[in-house]
């Protein structure tokens, strides 16, 4: 008696085809997600900036380079209403033309070990200073800003969004002065109760040059926050310990 195995063979081949299609769909989805992430984070440098001895890492805007070393660099590095910047670590700027003047947009970051000060104290210190400026006397924290962190870092941040007149340095035909311009300053503080480090990010941009940036100030701050990672401390073995 002759048995015909064609139906089983067809089913088997169809099954193999289904597996192949399924793997293709999965690979395509992964590739598409990676492409979208690359596009979203395009304004940021590929290599992370390291802080706190390498324990804290984040990607900063690639459009911003080191602070130009001149007499006004130290004054530009921090917001004028936040001269005592908690855990100040780094400032980067980009100088842009606004008509006859050259203005700077600045990113400032700091890290504070939670064992030194919890993030609540860091926020109180920031808010007290900012409210000392008449322009921002009534501002308050926007708490619980959730971000989709791609590096396993803090996913909740508190934000001060400061929009209004603030002091920027302007260079007009070699004449340098600090004066009030319309601008925006986004101050983001990581607000994870279990975090080992509190991360502070400030992005400050004059309105007249905002369109020359690759992303608005609030978006830049959010993108940086999404890349923050805090690595575990490496335990040092005693000198006489076995390898």
Give the pLDDT confidence score for residue 235 in this predicted structure.
61
Tell whether 235 is covered by a domain: no
User: Are residues 125 and 35 part of one domain?
Assistant: no
12 shares a domain with 81: no
Q: pLDDT band for position 17 (50/70/90)?
A: low
SS3 198: strand
Kindly give the pairing relationship between strand 197-206 and strand 229-230. unpaired
Distance of alpha carbon 24 from alpha carbon 3, whole angstroms: 35
Q: Are residues 152 and 223 in the same domain?
A: yes
Look up the domain containing 128 and give its range.
49-230
pLDDT the model gives residue 242 = 58
The phi, psi pair for 37, rounded to 5°, reads -60, -45
pLDDT at 224 exceeding the cut of 90: yes
When mean pLDDT is compared across 76-80, 91-95, 170-174, the lowest value belongs to 170-174
Predicted TM-score (pTM) above 0.85: no
Token pair in block for residue 239: 């000198």
What is the distance between the alpha carbons of residues 87 and 152, in angstroms, rounded to a whole number?
22
> Residues 38-48: what's their mean pLDDT?
93
């Amino acid at each position: 008696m002759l048995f015909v195995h064609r139906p089983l063979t067809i089913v088997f081949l169809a099954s193999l085809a289904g597996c192949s299609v399924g793997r293709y769909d999965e690979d395509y989805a992964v590739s598409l997600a990676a492409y979208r992430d690359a596009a979203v984070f395009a304004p940021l440098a590929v290599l992370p900036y390291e802080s706190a001895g390498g324990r804290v890492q984040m990607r900063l805007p690639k459009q911003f380079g080191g602070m130009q070393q001149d007499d006004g660099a130290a004054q530009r590095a921090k917001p004028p209403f936040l001269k005592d910047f908690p855990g100040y670590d780094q400032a980067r700027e980009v100088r842009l033309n606004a008509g006859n003047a050259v203005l700077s947009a600045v990113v400032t970051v700091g890290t504070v070990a939670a064992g030194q000060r919890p993030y609540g104290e860091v926020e109180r210190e920031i808010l007290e200073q900012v409210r000392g400026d008449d322009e921002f006397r009534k501002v308050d924290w926007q708490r619980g800003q959730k971000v989709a962190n791609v590096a396993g870092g803090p996913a909740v941040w508190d934000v001060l969004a400061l929009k209004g007149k603030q002091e920027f340095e302007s260079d007009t035909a070699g004449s340098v002065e600090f004066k009030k311009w319309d601008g925006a300053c986004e101050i983001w503080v990581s607000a994870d109760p279990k975090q080992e480090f509190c991360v502070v990010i400030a992005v400050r941009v004059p309105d007249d040059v905002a369109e020359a940036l690759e992303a608005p100030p609030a978006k830049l701050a959010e993108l940086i926050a999404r890349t923050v990672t805090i690595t575990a401390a490496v335990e040092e073995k005693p000198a006489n310990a076995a390898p």
